[in-house]
Amino acid sequence: MSDNSVFPGDKIASIEEYEAGHNTFDDGDMVRAATMGEKDMDKETRRVNVSHPKLLSIPKVGDVIIGTVAAVMSSMIAVSIDYINGKPTTSKVECICGTRNMRIRNVALVNDIVSLKIVAHLNGTIHAVMDERELGIIFTKCRKCGGKVVAKSTDAIKCTDCSWIDERKLSSSFGKNDFIHLRE
């Protein structure tokens, strides 16, 4: 953080002095930051830009991420990244994880929390896998009633409310952490 750091909504300049540029907007009175980043006041063009520290938040191949399942498709899941190697990130970059070869029908549900390893960047998409012991679902709920579930094995869960048994690829850290608190 420096003196130029801004948070979303921060007032940067009066619209009489400056025009809104990248990652900024004007509210009719002030130019404000639309994202977290570093402000840059261009005195020649009279424009304000905010540079988003996005590059710092993109995981590299080999990084382990923890994220929230944003979408479940027939052969993959999309995950919004919350942590990279244990460090929180606010940029909400998404990665995808193929599930076609997993022999489990309900690999994950939307809003489950998963741990994945990044394996490739292809055509602007970040690809991840969950085929290691510590990777997989960290937090999930019952698909039937939304109740709390417990692990029955490494790939099965049981609801403590309605007793529904379901499949998941569970991480070895399933049920051993407090990520639930971070989300509520």
Assess contact for 150 and 161: CB atoms under 8 A: no
Buried b / exposed e over 33-45, threshold 16 CB at 10 Å, is bbbbbbbbbeeee
* Sole binder of Zn ion in the list 161, 165, 182, 183 (CB under 5 A): 161
User: Of 127 and 152, which CB lies nearer to Zn ion in the complex structure?
Assistant: 152
Shortest Å, Cβ 140 to Zn ion = 11
Shortest Å, Cβ 165 to Zn ion = 10
Q: Residue 54, by phi and psi: left (phi above 0), alpha (psi -120 to 50) or beta?
A: alpha
Kindly identify the residues of this chain, within the stretch 59-118, that bind Zn ion according to CB under 5 A: none
Q: Does 160 bind Zn ion (CB under 5 A)?
A: no
User: Of 13 and 142, which CB lies nearer to Zn ion in the complex structure?
Assistant: 142
* Sole binder of Zn ion in the list 145, 165, 180, 182 (CB under 5 A): 145
Shortest Å, Cβ 164 to Zn ion = 5
C-alpha–C-alpha distance, residues 56 and 7, integer Å: 17
Q: Which stretch binds Zn ion (CB under 5 A): 67-75, 99-107, 132-140, 154-162?
A: 154-162
Task: Tell me how many residues contact Zn ion (CB under 5 A).
Answer: 8
* Sole binder of Zn ion in the list 6, 33, 159, 170 (CB under 5 A): 159
C-alpha–C-alpha distance, residues 48 and 112, integer Å: 39
Q: Which stretch binds Zn ion (CB under 5 A): 11-19, 25-33, 118-126, 159-167?
A: 159-167
- 166: phi then psi, degrees, rounded to nearest 5: -140, 165
Q: Does 150 bind Zn ion (CB under 5 A)?
A: no
Cα-Cα-Cα-Cα torsion 179, 131, 64, 119, nearest 10 degrees, comes to: -150
User: Of 9 and 146, which CB lies nearer to Zn ion in the complex structure?
Assistant: 146
User: Of 128 and 142, which CB lies nearer to Zn ion in the complex structure?
Assistant: 142
Q: Checking DSSP bridges between strand 76-84 and strand 30-33, what pairing results, if any?
A: unpaired
Cα-Cα-Cα-Cα torsion 173, 133, 87, 51, nearest 10 degrees, comes to: -130
Instruction: Name the residue type at position 10.
Output: D
**Residue numbers at the binding site for Zn ion (CB under 5 A):** 142, 144-145, 147, 159, 161-162, 164
